[in-house]
Amino acid sequence: REVDTFVNTHTIEFGGVPARVFTMTDITERKHAERKVRENEERLNEIIQTSPIGFAIVDEESDDRVFVNQAMATIFGYETPEAFKSASPAERWVDGDDAAFMRDIIERTRRVENQTIRRRGVDGNIFTALMNTAPITYQDRRSRVVWLIDISDRVEMDNALRESERR
């Protein structure tokens, strides 16, 4: 059986003669736990990165996007999450009043649940999305996670259905 150990040594005097004392600590359980945590983090990252739902983490103090998955970038028409992270959030709102309304909700409650919003992609196209946010601590900072689902197709189908029912 293999055992992970931590070895510590220091010099002492023993019977007037310099000697070295070695201590060994079995850290097998700790190494196993660390490996499991790392595997879980990798699995969670893979789930988030491959999700069709836009996902971002926003630092509440700076309002910077500190993490963005590919789906979020794609929803807004950016090729990479890094390109979306560096873009101005204000430019993606269709209506400044909507942006102010969402900021007010987030400041008061720190949560948004199933809010229908209109946003603008990098190409100028306007889309309808369902937005949720929740407070989290990320890298020891007060942050919020944002989920965004483009529901434009569903809204168009609902509108077309209502129109056909009116006829």
Q: How confident is the model over 61-84, as pLDDT tens digits?
A: 998 999 999 999 999 999 999 999
Q: Contact 112/98 with Cβ under 8 angstroms?
A: no
Using pLDDT thresholds of 50, 70 and 90, give the confidence band for residue 31.
very high
What's the confidence (pLDDT) of residue 2?
85
pTM of the model: 0.77
* Interval 37-62 mean pLDDT: 94
Q: Quote the pLDDT of residue 81.
A: 95
Give per-residue pLDDT as tens, 149-164: 999 999 899 989 998 8
pLDDT in tens, 85-109: 988 888 888 888 888 888 899 989 9
pLDDT confidence tier of residue 39, bands split at 50, 70 and 90: very high
| 6-30: average pLDDT | 92
Question: Is the pLDDT score of 143 beyond 90?
Answer: yes
Q: For 6-15, how does the pLDDT look when each residue is reduced to its tens digit (9 = 90+)? A: 999 999 999 9
